[in-house]
């Protein structure tokens, strides 16, 4: 098996992955600003990083995956004013929408979802450090980072500071000393949420939050992996590097990963352009697993152009993979036991190795799907096989490889979802029976029945059987 290598935006080259602490990965991915429904562009980012996380865990790493919510922002405040609501109500509403969509897409929950409003004290401390070190200054209640004080600003985005100066402007109402400087703390305006600080009432700027929250949650200054969409490279991630490294004197992240955009007719999908598709609207037409497969069908760094026809192609692909699993399960019920022969086992193992090699090569999900197709095609061929080489053990082995590789990419089969629900109901019913709540136990039995299963109580515990 090959070593894990992937493209590091910072070095602009493919590098071997060597975590700071052997066997452990600290990974921070910039989360959403929850002021509207989640769209397909969001889904691509978080499905991509979920698949990266899954493969790291599959490869034996212990992954601390952190993803923030920017739950106070100009857009959230504007939405609250326009709907006669509060910023907290708006952010909570769309965080709930986001997490539901993540569940539908089988995105594993982050270890923690830090929110800006819950980390104001840490953010203020980081700003105080930057001011004391001379990298930031207060100006009439605002605090700005002095870009020219930070050596090598632009090293992530490969932008020359002299070129940035040409296009820089001071917007109306800003009180910064230099057009390149950016806000760390904003003086509060009338009818805006605010927090007390050494510089007066206000709230954090956009960039400072991720620096403070990530270092606080991982309890060290340097991340193994920092990720997000390509649109965050400049200015957001560039500014994160400047303020974090100015504060600690240490690299902010060892590796930077950025996913490509979802496009509509080759144009970036975004709310500001009005060409975005809300996920719940897409799920009304397509199984979330079809959407997930579509989002991973191209290499994560390439643009992914959206259309209904491409989702239908992904639906056909997913149907064929599910069909291979169904064929395998049918064969398992009718074939004899016997041991798998070495030739069949070696070929299945080779496919499994090829799958890992694809993902070790810059997380190439497109090529990894080609291996899954090969496993599925092999299972289809077993249905037509007339030799004596195909037996139950052989089919079971290939089926295990199909399920295993799909799981790494976060694709869950419908009956697996049912089985998880079934197990949960059986557990709940057993608890109700032990508590002598027989009315509840009977109600849960009816729910199990609706899933197409019966439950039998035996001396060894409950046993379920498909009707």
- At 291-318, the pLDDT tens digits run 999 999 999 999 999 989 999 999 999 9
Question: Mean pLDDT in the chain?
Answer: 91
Asked if the model's pLDDT at residue 174 lies above 90, the reply is no
Q: What average pLDDT score do residues 203-232 get?
A: 96
- Residue 463's pLDDT band, with cuts at 50, 70 and 90, is low
Chain segment 104-147, per-residue pLDDT in tens: 999 999 999 999 999 999 999 999 999 999 999 999 999 999 99
Chain segment 45-63, per-residue pLDDT in tens: 999 999 999 999 999 999 9
Q: What pLDDT is stored for residue 334 in this prediction?
A: 86
φ/ψ of residue 72, rounded to 5: -140, 125
Q: What pLDDT is stored for residue 361 in this prediction?
A: 98
Q: What pLDDT is stored for residue 421 in this prediction?
A: 72
d(CA 248, CA 125): 12
pTM of the model: 0.87
Q: What pLDDT is stored for residue 237 in this prediction?
A: 98
CB-based contacts of 449: which residues, under 8 Å, 6+ apart? 467
Nearest Cα residue to 373 out of 338, 409, 337: 409
Q: What average pLDDT score do residues 66-89 get?
A: 96
Q: What pLDDT is stored for residue 168 in this prediction?
A: 63
Domain definitions of the chain by residue range? 5-292, 311-409, 415-466
Q: What pLDDT is stored for residue 300 in this prediction?
A: 98
- 8 Å CB contact between 5 and 363: no
Q: What pLDDT is stored for residue 461 in this prediction?
A: 64
The percent of residues above 70 in pLDDT, for the chain, comes to 93
Instruction: Mention the CATH class of domain 311-409.
Output: mainly alpha
- Residue 227's pLDDT band, with cuts at 50, 70 and 90, is very high
Q: What pLDDT is stored for residue 166 in this prediction?
A: 59
Asked if the model's pLDDT at residue 454 lies above 90, the reply is no
Asked if the model's pLDDT at residue 198 lies above 90, the reply is yes
- Residue 270's pLDDT band, with cuts at 50, 70 and 90, is low
The percent of residues above 90 in pLDDT, for the chain, comes to 74
- Residue 162's pLDDT band, with cuts at 50, 70 and 90, is confident
Q: What pLDDT is stored for residue 169 in this prediction?
A: 66
Instruction: Mention the CATH class of domain 5-292.
Output: alpha beta
Q: What pLDDT is stored for residue 22 in this prediction?
A: 96
Asked if the model's pLDDT at residue 259 lies above 60, the reply is yes
């Amino acid at each position: 098996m090959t070593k894990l290598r992937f493209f590091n935006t910072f070095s602009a080259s493919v590098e071997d992955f060597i975590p700071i602490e052997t066997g452990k990965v600290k990974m921070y991915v910039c989360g959403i600003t929850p002021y509207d429904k989640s769209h397909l562009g969001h889904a691509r980012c978080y499905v991509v990083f979920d698949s990266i996380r899954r493969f790291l865990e599959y490869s034996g790493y212990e992954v601390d995956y952190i993803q923030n919510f920017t739950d106070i922002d100009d857009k959230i405040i504007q939405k609250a004013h326009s709907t006669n609501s509060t910023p907290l109500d708006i952010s909570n509403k769309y965080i709930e929408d986001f997490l539901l969509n993540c569940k539908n897409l089988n995105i594993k929950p982050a270890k923690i979802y830090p929110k800006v409003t819950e980390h104001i004290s840490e953010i203020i401390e980081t700003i105080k450090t930057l001011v004391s070190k001379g990298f930031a200054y207060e100006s009439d209640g605002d605090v700005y980072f002095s870009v020219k004080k930070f050596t090598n600003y632009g090293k992530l985005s490969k932008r020359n500071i002299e070129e940035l100066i040409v296009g820089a402007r001071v917007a109306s109402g800003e009180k910064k000393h230099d057009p390149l400087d950016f806000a760390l703390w904003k003086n509060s305006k009338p009818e805006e949420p605010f927090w007390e600080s050494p510089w007066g009432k206000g709230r954090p700027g956009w960039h400072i939050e991720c620096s403070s929250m990530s270092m606080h949650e991982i309890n060290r200054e340097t991340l193994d992996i920092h990720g997000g969409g390509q649109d965050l490279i400049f200015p957001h991630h560039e500014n994160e590097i400047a303020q974090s490294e100015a504060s600690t004197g240490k690299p902010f992240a060892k590796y930077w990963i950025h996913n490509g955009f979802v496009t509509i007719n080759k144009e970036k999908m975004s709310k500001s352009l009005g060409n975005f598709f809300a996920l719940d609207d897409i799920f009304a037409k397509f199984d979330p697993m079809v959407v997930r497969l579509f989002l991973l069908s191209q290499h994560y760094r390439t643009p992914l152009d959206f259309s209904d026809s491409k989702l239908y192609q992904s639906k056909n692909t997913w149907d064929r993979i599910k069909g291979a699993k169904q064929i395998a399960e049918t064969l398992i019920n009718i074939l004899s036991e016997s041991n798998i022969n070495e030739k069949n086992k070696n070929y299945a193992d080779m496919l499994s190795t090829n799958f890992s090699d694809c993902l070790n090569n810059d997380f190439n999900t497109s090529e990894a799907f080609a291996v899954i197709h090969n496993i599925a095609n092999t299972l289809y061929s077993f249905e037509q096989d007339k030799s004596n080489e195909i037996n139950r053990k052989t089919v079971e082995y290939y089926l295990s490889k199909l399920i295993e590789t799909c799981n790494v990419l976060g694709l869950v089969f419908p009956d697996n979802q049912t089985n998880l629900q079934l197990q949960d109901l059986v557990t709940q019913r057993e608890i109700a029976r032990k508590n002598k709540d027989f009315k509840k136990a009977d109600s849960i039995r009816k729910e199990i029945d609706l899933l197409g299963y019966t439950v039998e109580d035996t001396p060894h515990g409950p046993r379920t059987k498909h009707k």
